[in-house]
Amino acid sequence: MASTYLNNEDEILLRVAEGDEKAFAVIVDHYTDIIYPHLLSFIKNAEKAEEITQDIFLRIWNNRKKLAGIENFAGYVYVITRNRAKTAFKEQLASRTTELVDPLNDILADPEAVSLEVKELQRVLQQAIDNLPPRRKEVFLLSRVENLTYDQIAAQLNISRSAVRQHIVEALVFLRSYLKEKLGIIVSHSGWLLLICDLFV
């Protein structure tokens, strides 16, 4: 994976460490085109590569307070990506899916028994989606509700495919943080969050 540094990267990372979402968008935009092709070359599965790319950015955002102490961010990203690629490749070879453990299992396992919790989750999730910036919300709903591909969304909105991916990643980061803040629910994997959105949007 190319270790191309971003201009003013140290300054941008300091802003991300302070919770600056615009600075994080710059990181996502720059490193997506580095991370995704590397993953795809390993696992040969576009959907899985997209999912892992999202997870890597979620991990970076969730650990943003540590970014100020990282001297070689490109190397840091490379190590994370390499490790995730190796893990995904081994899982493919073993033909098995890692079981995801998440507090949401209890909520989704028996909807009838916890209907109130499900309704509350639905309400808070919709509230979170409504709080997305207009264009990001539009992109997210086209993906999750209309089930359009990134290429279809890009064509419809006259934006680049990488811009679509960036909007989806940042939407997932925001929704996950919102659920944690409002309900104390920690979504451990972007796949869970996408599943929830499919169920409740």
Residue that is last in its domain, among 35, 64, 94: 94
Instruction: Produce one character per residue of 84-109: b if its CB has 16 or more CB atoms within 10 Å, e if not.
Output: bbeebeeeeeeeeeeeeebebeebbe
φ and ψ at 170, to 5 degrees?
-70, -30
Angle at 15 between CA 9 and CA 19, to 5 degrees: 135
Residue that is last in its domain, among 28, 60, 94: 94
Domain carrying residue 56: 9-94
CATH number (domain holding residue 74)? 1.10.1740.10
Residue 72 domain-assigned? yes
**Length of the chain measured in residues:** 201
User: Is the pLDDT confidence value at 164 over 60?
Assistant: yes
CB atoms < 10 A from the CB of 33, how many? Answer: 12
Task: Say if residue 129 is in the same domain as residue 81.
Answer: no
- Give CA–CA dist 89/139, Å, rounded: 30
Task: Say if residue 162 is in the same domain as residue 194.
Answer: yes
pLDDT tens digit string along 110-132?
545 445 566 777 788 888 889 99
Residue that is last in its domain, among 49, 72, 94: 94
φ and ψ at 55, to 5 degrees?
-65, -40
Name the one residue in this structure whose structure tokens are 């890009």. Answer: 154
Is residue 57 a contact partner of residue 67, using CB atoms and an 8 Å limit?
Answer: no
DSSP secondary structure code for residue 113 in this structure: T
pLDDT tens digit string along 10-57?
899 999 999 888 889 889 888 888 888 888 877 777 778 888 888 899
> Can you tell me the mean pLDDT for 182-189?
61
Task: Say if residue 44 is in the same domain as residue 67.
Answer: yes
CATH number (domain holding residue 167)? 1.10.10.10
Residue 173 domain-assigned? yes
Task: Say if residue 112 is in the same domain as residue 88.
Answer: no
User: How many domains does the chain fold into?
Assistant: 2
Work out the pLDDT band at 135, boundaries 50, 70, 90: very high
The whole-number pLDDT of residue 158 equals 93
Is residue 88 a contact partner of residue 46, using CB atoms and an 8 Å limit?
Answer: no
Q: 164: Cβ–Cβ under 8 A, 6 or more apart, which residues?
A: 139, 143, 150, 153, 154, 157
In a 3-state reduction of DSSP, which class is residue 108?
helix
Residue 99 domain-assigned? no
